[in-house]
Chain A
Amino acid sequence: MTRNAMIDEWYPVGLASQLDAHGRKTALMGEPIEVKRGEDGNAKVTGGNGRTLPACIRYGHVWSSLGDPQKPLFAIPEADQPGRRLVDVGVVRVRCSPLRAVENFLDIAHFPFVHTDILGAEPHTEVQNYKVEIREDEDEVWATQVKFYQPQAAKSAEGGITTEYMYRVPAPTCSILYKTCPPRPGEWDVITLFVQPLAEDLCDVWPWMALFDDDTPMTDLIHFQQTIFLQDRSILENQIPGLLPLDPGMEIPTRADLTSVAYRRWLKRHGYTYGAQLVAQ
């Protein structure tokens, strides 16, 4: 039995804004943990046997790890850019593999069917060719030049536009989406999906955003993202098989799925298999 390579990764375990001295009980990869504000004011995360776990606060969330992270949490340079509104969307519990939650986030072909009239609409269903690579220096999966027609790309969008996307996977259960920013051409809105693996088939999903949008009320921004993600949840909880298959099996990938193919390959290469199945069924 080899060591679980995902054990040394950072995971979101709560909102920084909700840290308190009382603490919050949650779980990480099957182990009960507690997240609270320590006496020194910093986040304190305690494992099931009372041991202190690594902790840091970044991008609106508390991050922790059951193991020994070999590098700091991935960078999102845009998060520190002046003028952005940082949106804590909150948490959605989903009965699915944490890897499935990320893979669905990387998929655009489902927009017209799952997020009908918001992120996509028939007959604008075509996924044009885009570029996918595993960037060796950063050790991240990237998809660029992704274009899709969207009836309402963002809360701030009026009418349909062709939106351009870039996707980044810097950690096995985290993805960052860069998206055309309607009020500020030339900049990218940042929408992230931070996934806390509670078990191989259960996760808490913490979407987070860093947007150029000074007008939309915060409540509306949160509602928009929650609406989208709840539509995804009904899909995620019904996927078969529940664990993400890393070997070719019954599924038939097309060109539109190249990001998913690269993500699965990258997971397998690193042995990131918590929430995955290796033998095709």
Chain B
Amino acid sequence: MQYLGKDGVAVIESRFGAQVKEASGTEINRCYQCLTCSLGCPSAFAMDYLPHQIVRMVQLGLREQVLTSSTIWVCADCQACATRCPNEVDLVKMMDVLREISLREGLAKEHAVADFHRIFLGNIERWGRQHELSLILMLKLKTRDLFSDLLPGMKMLLKGKLKLFPVRFSEIKKVRDLFRRTER
């Protein structure tokens, strides 16, 4: 297994739990594995590890396994887990931090989701507002998936639901500066 060291023992980074706790501001060690998060998770069926397992893996320091999981990208950000956790573990903030680190270190497994986020933010930096037609086309090019959704896409264009051009935005420099200041 790729997560095992030379001696066949799982690679553990004991600082990882503390690092995630500090960056997310949520007390991950409170989790007692009641499974409330996983049982109410609407996209759990598509995850490689369930949300409560990710929490446990973060506690244990299974850094690489967590950061290369599909779970952190398949999470639909619906906030049900964090709302229902009896120990107030904010799994949403935890997931945000995990995605940030995963992206920064080039470990993101679900490329389409990571690409979506990158293109989404890139468009805001370029135009100040989202331009949905560009977002869709750029994602299609990036994921080489040109022909899906052609029919509803055409229908939306004809119904005037997709603007052809981005809006003019007079203060775009200021928005771009926000991007520059938070670049990491």
A-B complex is real? no
